[in-house]
A and B are shown apart, each in its own frame.
Chain A
Amino acid sequence: MKLRLALVTLLVIIFASTLSNQVSIASANTVISSVLTPPVTQPVTSFAKSISGHVTFRFLGWFRGITHEDKVKDAANVKIEARNIFTNQKFITYTDSNGNYILGADAGKYLVSASYSNIPFAPGVRFVDLKNNKGNVNFQGFTK
């Protein structure tokens, strides 16, 4: 019985610590959209790391309103491109209806940019050294 209890104790310690780490990794990669997301269907679309962020449009001009809520809106369908500065390999995604995106990519150094029609974005390009999942890579586009 002592052996069994010892084994159970060991299992609990190892399992609990490992599972909690795994949960934190999974939580960090939660898709922000509330609806069921597309399933893992394409066999070639798993990435070790991800770049995520939020994109907004800032509407210029007094006629749009005065408050921040009037001026700044979530930007959907904005193209986000990450280009590896050494291999020139590109990864592309688009923001969802809430202006959020998650871009899967391999570890490396990237230049990340946003584009939508002819709208200028700030910053124009962001440098990301992707060693772990990188969040808050945000952009803001300026339009009338």
Chain B
Amino acid sequence: MINLFVVLLLFILPLIVFQFGISPYETPKIFVAQLIVFIFAIYSILTQKDFFAFPKDKVIFYALVGVCILLLIQIVVFRESSVVFGDVYRFQGLFFMFTMLIFSYVSARTRLTINPLYIFSLLVVHLILAFFLGTNEAHRSFGTLGEPNSLASYSLFLWPFILFDKKRLHKVFQFSTIFIVIGILYISGSRSALFALLAQSTYLGLLYKNIPQRLSVVAAVVVLSLSLLSPFFVQTYYENRADIWKGAFQAGITHPIIGSGFGNIHSAISHTRPYKITTLQNRIVDSAHNIFLDWWVQGGIVGFLLLVTMLTRTFIIFVKQKNKLYITLLVGLLGTFLFNPMSVSLHLCLWFLIGQALSKNTAHV
């Protein structure tokens, strides 16, 4: 039953599209996700005997508690609906963050079991729907995720499940998966996903050459770090990330300790001086387009360090477990989170992985 909740949130939710709120692609997903997480939490509290047992990894647990405390402080300090709920497109405010934390904790005890053939089918469905639903103004496919980068990132989250299952699936499926993923990346036009795929490939390639896990992970992280230089050399009118990052960094300095509040990022960035003299002068930026900068602006140095702690510890645990699947998933997610604001579906994937590290679960596919 618990596995069902996780499967619903990670694999069915991205397909949900119906008219509600401003975006039929994002708004319904948020509400459905919050509802399912709420029911999941109630079910876990009432049925799991070890729900109140101390998780296996104390570092991540205390970091999660730290984030909770930070959110509670922000509720008291800011007391604005925009902070509690976030903007009307993404609704990624305090309430959203609490939902992610709860999901991470309750899903920690889940050992994900899913048939990789189902994952393959999902990939095919997403590719077909991406064609069917058309393209945006920049001629990029967005699929049911509603954003090209989210679509590409989600495909990078799916394909390792097929790659690492050698027992049940014929090799034809594994070869086909690579072409499907490349196809999705091509029609979505996501450069960040390309960097993420490169990082995943670097990690897997080094593993194949029997390079130790730690060095392979370090190499993947180096690739991701080098990719952060690209916006400073390639800039477009709509997505001037170098300017957004500068503005976000400056915005974080104005409230360096606890930040401007989760959900309050757009007003924080819009008041920074570097932002006002850039090509984004007459536009509103609703995200720093980098998860670390998002947490820096919204949570200050406290939030930033808590995020770094959780992600670093997650990597360490997966390396110790030699959990290649989860490392590949995390590298792929981080690669796209470094450049884009993400759909709720991808946030759930990320917090699921953190939850798995919290209870030191190994993947079972």
Chain B residues bordering chain A, tally (CB within 8 A): 55
Q: Is the CB of B31 within 8 A of A106?
A: no
Known interface pairs A11-B42, A47-B284; A40-B31 also in contact (CB < 8 Å): no
**A34 interface residue per 8 A CB criterion:** yes
Given the contacts A8-B42, A22-B91, A50-B88, A39 and B20 also touching, CB distance less than 8 Å: no
Instruction: State in angstroms the CA–CA spacing of A52 and B244 once bound together.
Output: 28
Closest CB of chain A to B364's CB: distance in Å? Answer: 28
Chain B residues near A29: list those with CB within 8 A: 21-22, 88
Judge whether B21 and A90 touch: CB under 8 Å.
no
Contact B84 A39 (CB under 8 A): no
The reply to whether the CB of B41 lies closer than 8 angstroms to some CB of chain A is: yes
Closest residue to A4 on the B side, CB-wise? B45
* New A-B pairs, 9, CB < 8 Å, besides A40-B25, A106-B267: A8-B45, A26-B20, A29-B22, A38-B136, A43-B238, A44-B239, A44-B244, A46-B266, A106-B270
When the two chains form their complex, are residues A48 and B45 in contact, meaning their CB atoms are under 8 A apart? no
Minimum CB–CB distance from B245 to chain A (whole Å) comes to 12
The distance from the CB of A14 to the nearest CB of chain B, in whole angstroms, is 9
The answer to whether A15 and B45 touch (CB under 8 A), given A41-B136, A43-B340, A45-B286, is: no
Nearest CB in chain A to that of B267: its residue: A48
Expressed in whole angstroms, the minimum distance between the Cβ of B20 and any Cβ of chain A is: 6
A11 B136 Cβ-Cβ under 8 A: no
CA distance A11 to B142 in the complex (A): 35
Q: Mark A28-41, 1 if CB is under 8 A from B, else 0.
A: 01110010111111
When the two chains form the complex, which single residue of A25, A39, A44 contacts B85, counting CB atoms closer than 8 Å?
A25
CB atoms of B85 and A21 under 8 A apart: yes
Q: Closest CB-CB distance, A98 to chain B, in whole Å?
A: 14
Given contacts A41-B148, A43-B287, A45-B284, contact A19 B35 (CB under 8 A): yes
Instruction: Identify whether the interface residues of B are mostly helix, strand, loop, or mixed.
Output: loop
Q: Given the interface contacts A41-B147, A42-B238, A106-B267, does A19 sit within 8 Å of B34 by beta carbon?
A: yes
**7 A-B pairs with least C-beta separation:** A46-B286, A39-B146, A26-B21, A41-B136, A40-B23, A46-B89, A29-B88
**Are A25 and B42 also in contact (CB < 8 A) when A41-B142, A42-B238, A48-B82 are?**
no
A–B complex contacts, Cβ < 8 Å, 26 sampled: A11-B41, A11-B42, A12-B42, A18-B95, A21-B84, A25-B81, A27-B20, A29-B88, A34-B19, A36-B24, A37-B19, A37-B22, A37-B23, A38-B137, A39-B23, A39-B26, A39-B146, A40-B22, A41-B138, A45-B89, A45-B283, A46-B90, A46-B266, A47-B87, A48-B266, A104-B284
Residues of B within 8 A of A22 (CB): 31, 34, 85, 91, 95
Q: Report the bound CA distance from A141 to B146 in whole Å.
A: 35
CA distance A6 to B46 in the complex (A): 11
Nearest-CB residue, chain A, relative to B23: A40
Residues of A within 8 A of B52 (CB): 3
How far is it, in angstroms, between the C-alpha of A21 and the C-alpha of B34 when the chains are bound?
A: 13
* B95 & A43 in contact (Cβ 8 Å cutoff): no
Rounded to whole Å, the gap between the CB of A40 and the closest CB of chain B is 4
Q: CB-nearest residue of chain B relative to A1?
A: B46
In the assembled complex, B210 has its CB within 8 A of some CB on chain A: no
